[in-house]
Chains A and B, each alone.
Chain A
Amino acid sequence: MGSYTIPAVQDMSIRLTKAMRLGIVGESGSGKTTLALAIMGLLEKRASVNGSIRFAGTDLQQLSEKQRNPYRWSRIALVFQNSLDVLNPVLTVHEQIWECLVRHTTLARADAHETVVSLLESVGMAAEHGPYYPHQLSGGMRQRVLLAMALSCDPEVLILDEPTNALDAVTKTDIINRIARIQQEKQFGLIVISHELQTIARLTSRISVMYRGRIVEEGPTGTMLSLPLHPYTRGLVHASPDINPWRDMWGIPEESETSEFSESSEFSGNGGCPFVSRCCQKTDICQTRVPSLEPAAPERRVACNRGGIVTLLQGTGIHKHFGVNGTSVRACQDCCIRVRSGEAAVLIGESGSGKTTLANILSGILNPDRGDIRFNGEPVVRSRASRRKKGMQIIFQDPYSAINANLGVEQAIREPLDILGQDLPEHKTASVIRALQQVGLPVDDHFRRRKCHTLSGGQRQRIAIARALVMDPAILIADEISAMLDPSTQANILRLLKGLQNHHGFAMLYITHDLAVAQKIADWVYVMNHGKIVEQGDARQIFTNPAHPYTRKLVGQHFPEITRKTGDIPSSCVKNKPYVITRNPALAKAA
């Protein structure tokens, strides 16, 4: 049998100051438990731990087992990951808590018995549960016992490994609340290890996100969850219904099939960014360079060769006015908008608020009076960004004017490819067929030859979408594309776009006045009124706790029930201001 080493945790550094509450997030198998066990010195002898674990100035790694014991439990305690086997089956709950007290405190044996009872009560168990054996407990009760056991000796640091895994909502909330209250009271340092962002959001003030044993991003809980900088963090947030209850859930794509990285080279850590096989914004250097954790925004650090999720499209200070019959209409005033790679940004606002104007300016169709528009860092001038693959595509509001009605279906869709003139004809046809399939239209010869004017509005809209998709865009600007579609087709198209986005990572600026649709797809929301962007924020904030009076009115009209229910939203998710990313210039260049 060959032996090999799996680095479960690499280059991991975390700091915990007194009474600090740190969350460690990561998927299953990302090395979270390994880290907790390393801190406690509980890894098997087979596991080797390099580096130092300092506690109040002492390097715990240098201590012998015997020297280490005084630190265990009385100073650093761990709520083990809940499993059937985590408590000794032949000892009662009471005994297992009691023995910690006898070992680490000066309590008399009799007093220790009373303390056990009060500990049990403090975690929501009754004194009668003391004589229970572990197999007589439910999962939730076992979690409570583990908590009581960890709290027994008043530790200075408490580590919780998946404290709310597999618990029902009521128990979960109760346990979270109790932990939060006890931490408030005792002011111990808290490390919460979990893949449940809801738990993390509630219990911690800072987060470190782990991927394949490395920290890929860290920062304050609130901003991390509302504006993740690492693609992996964003993936986690998108996969968590408790952070944004309306948005469809999308997991992070698993390893892409084209991954030429074998398991071993990925684990060896020399193969570049650990996330590279699942990343939708990777570049060539990601295959060879391991990104280090660098500051990316105030108080935030991210490990990405491109400095975190890149901004694809950025418009700053955009002004535009139209002269109509001598009067001037100010369609855009000092609009700033930004769409990041892989993001679904939604621009909402009433009819006539200037949304389409802004979209046209951003795509280079319309020239602004003033302002700077950059796609991938380069200024957008006319159609330079749209006449290329991996560029910017816009789908117009009105399908009738968008496509030359006299063209055949295939012709209309392949027109941009023809203009580009790069592909062989058979490749173009293949692209057309794929795009038609994606938008759910027939692909037979007959249909492909049909003239566009013989098609319905909805079909034409889909042709327009297919036409954008053949160019394999990096960003798609979609202006009210669902207005022409029946509800079912609209749902299909939206799912299609979100799905494509999730897998290919293109970004989307989706313009709509339909707030229900916006809610369903938005990661980030811009609210426009009278030519101004009056508010922006993550979807949860905009829809639950809008700040601007106009947004409040808009949201209130659409969802009267939501604005009333603001109370039960975790505070850390709500409080966040528009966020400025200060890109590390060195990293930007490297990318």
Chain B
Amino acid sequence: MSRTIYKIAEYVLTFFFIITLNFFLPRFMPGDPFTFLSSDAGDVTVTCSQAQIDRYKSYYGLDLPLKDQYLHYIGNLFTGDIGYSIYYNDDVVRIIGNRACWTVMLVVVSLILSGIIGTIIGSLSAWFRGRLFDRAAYLFLVGFSEIPAFLTGLVLLFVGGAWLGWFPLSGGIRPFTEFSSVISRTADIIHHAILPVLAMVLTRLGDFYLLSRSSMLTVLSRDYMRTAKGKGLSKPRILFGHALRNAAIPVVTRLFLSLGTIFGGAVLVENVFNYPGIGRLMREAVMVRDYVLIQGIFIFVALSVLSMNLIADILIRKMDPRIG
């Protein structure tokens, strides 16, 4: 019981730490949003006079002391008001909402794919330890994981998109198109997502592969595996009922905890493929010093990572009776 309270307190504290950091970080960055204030989205055209800047500053409350700004910020946060983007001239929550589903799709799909594929290959590798399959898989996957996601992405873009022409070069969906059905729309989304997902999966695969391979190797050498074999159980039961249930525990933990890492990958990959997700949004926001938007994205990412940690905590407790 006290453990649960402790855990909750930990999460609350972490959250506060993050939103505080989120508030101060952009304010200590050089430059300010009014340098790049624009009339049309995307094009930096107007340079403001000092008087205008001051007016805007007071309009957005940026001339108040930091303490007051901070209290304001916290207060708004809890009413769900993250703010209004100066640059995009739109509500931050709405901007992020429009973009988030793309990134969530990329991240979730590539996490699940790399987790599952990595675990399967890793388990097989452990099972066939030292044989050709094991060695080939090891070399290939560990090799790939050393290459950063955006580089893999670039190569994929050149080969699959430009050279072979199999996949679209950019975007998340064909623009200015009326889709006849949900199916053709989905197909188009998938078509666009394949390369970015592939780039991210290839980068993450080695990690999950190594982890599940070593986890499986440990499990296979444990006494209880001998017990299971001695009981004359069927191979699937031994492999899935006994081995994988133990070997999967660290893999699942990593699956949830690596969200931050994979998000970092997504930012780069999205920029390579010009994918309309949070990653690209973030780059744009940073370019124009849009504090409010940057803060919003940070909060979004922090909340996702925190909630994934929470889910991992709960799930591991369910999977491993020795914990909790």
Contacts and interface: CB of A to CB of B under 8 A. Distances in A.
Given A99-B237, A99-B241, A103-B237, A89 B322 contact: yes
Interface residues of B, number: 22
A136 B324 CA distance: 12
A103 B319 CA distance: 24
Interface stretch (A66-74, A164-172, A538-546, A571-579): A66-74
A126 to B, nearest CB: 19
A149 interface: yes
Contacts of A85: 222-224
Nearest to A37: B226
Interface string A101-129: 00110000000000000000000000000
Interface string B232-257: 11100100011001100100000000
B65 interface: no
Contacts of A90: 245-246, 249, 319-321
A329 interface: no
B173 interface: no
Given A91-B245, A133-B322, A100 B231 contact: yes
B230 interface: yes
A87 B226 CA distance: 10
Interface string A57-100: 00000000000111111100010100101111111100000011
B307 interface: no
A42 B226 contact: yes
B93 interface: no
Nearest to B229: A42
B232 A135 contact: no
A87 B224 CA distance: 5
A121 B230 CA distance: 23
Contacts of B230: 40, 42, 72-73, 78, 80
B248 to A, nearest CB: 9
Nearest to A88: B224
Contacts of B228: 88
Nearest to A85: B223
B14 interface: no
B232 A71 contact: yes
A69 B233 CA distance: 7
Contacts of A42: 226, 229-230
A86 B227 contact: yes
A133 B321 contact: yes
Interface of A: 37, 40, 42, 68-74, 78, 80, 83, 85-92, 99-100, 103-104, 133, 135-136, 149
Interface of B: 222-224, 226-234, 237, 241-242, 245-246, 249, 319-322
11 contacts: A37-B226, A42-B229, A42-B230, A70-B232, A83-B223, A85-B224, A87-B227, A89-B321, A90-B320, A90-B321, A99-B241
Please give me the 8 A-B residue pairs with the lowest Cβ-Cβ distance, nearest first.
A72-B232, A69-B232, A133-B321, A85-B223, A88-B224, A73-B232, A86-B223, A73-B231
Given A86-B227, A99-B233, A99-B237, 14 more contacts: A42-B230, A72-B230, A73-B231, A73-B232, A74-B232, A80-B223, A87-B224, A88-B245, A89-B320, A90-B246, A91-B245, A99-B231, A103-B234, A104-B232
